[in-house]
Amino acid sequence: MFFHIVLERNMQLHPRHFGRDLRDKLVAKLMKDVEGTCSGRHGFVVAITGIESVGKGLIRDGTGFVTFPVKYQCVVFRPFKGEISEAVVTMVNKMGFFAEAGPVQIFVSNHLIPDDMEFQSGDIPNYTTSDGSVKIQKDSEVRLKIIGTRVDATEIFCIGTIKDDFLGVISDPGATS
């Protein structure tokens, strides 16, 4: 789920950047340091939308670097347990399938896939119902519920299920009308 949030960060700037473009350089450095990063609390910082305030700089003893406290607004993406998400399948194997919802990877175990769907190996591995009416394969869109999340330094990984009501395949890339 996306959120619009105000975060704060202490930015260090080398004296060579001081001058009339100080603020622009500070903002550019902030974007470079923060956009695309991931934290357990806020999720992925997708984009910075604005700068709320830049505080007074403090010179660090011995180095000459200056630290500025910067408050900025940004759009973050963070998955939550219990959230319903529409993801695109990226890989299917006998243990389950992997899907992507934005920058987040989600794994759905075969135990959390309806029992009437079975794994079919082959050139295009997939899960299919016994009558062949519903198929989950690479690039299928599925609606799933997130039941667990894990965050590491660079990404968020989730576990999902499609075994509840109103969950499952939304669109199948291989479907012919």
Partner 1 sequence: MAEKGEKGFSLSNGGKSSLKSPASFKGKDDSTAKSKRGRKVQFDAEEAKISMSSKSGGKVDKPVARGDWGKGGKGDKIANGGEVPVVKAPPPLELKIEHELPENAKCLMDCEAAEILQGIQEQMVILSEDPAIKIPISFDRGLQYAKRGSHYISPHPVRRVLDALKLHNVSDGEVSMIANVGPESVEEVFALVPSLKGKKSKLREPLKDALDQLAKLKHST
State in angstroms the smallest separation of the CB of 97 from partner 1: 14
Is the separation of the CB atoms in 79 and 146 below 8 Å? yes
Q: Which is nearer to partner 1, 2 or 18 (CB)?
A: 2
State in angstroms the smallest separation of the CB of 164 from partner 1: 7
If you write DSSP's letter for every residue of 21-44 in order, what string do you get? THHHHHHHHHHHHHTT-EETTTEE
Q: Which is nearer to partner 1, 57 or 69 (CB)?
A: 69
State in angstroms the smallest separation of the CB of 144 from partner 1: 11
Q: Which is nearer to partner 1, 66 or 104 (CB)?
A: 104
Q: Which residues bind partner 1 (CB under 8 A)?
A: 1-6, 32, 35-36, 38, 41-42, 44-47, 49, 75, 77-78, 80-86, 88, 94-95, 100-103, 109-111, 141, 143, 145, 147, 164-166
Q: How far is CA 176 from CA 107, 117, 171, 172, in A?
A: 27, 20, 11, 9
Q: Which is nearer to partner 1, 85 or 137 (CB)?
A: 85
State in angstroms the smallest separation of the CB of 158 from partner 1: 12
Q: Which is nearer to partner 1, 44 or 68 (CB)?
A: 44
State in angstroms the smallest separation of the CB of 60 from partner 1: 26
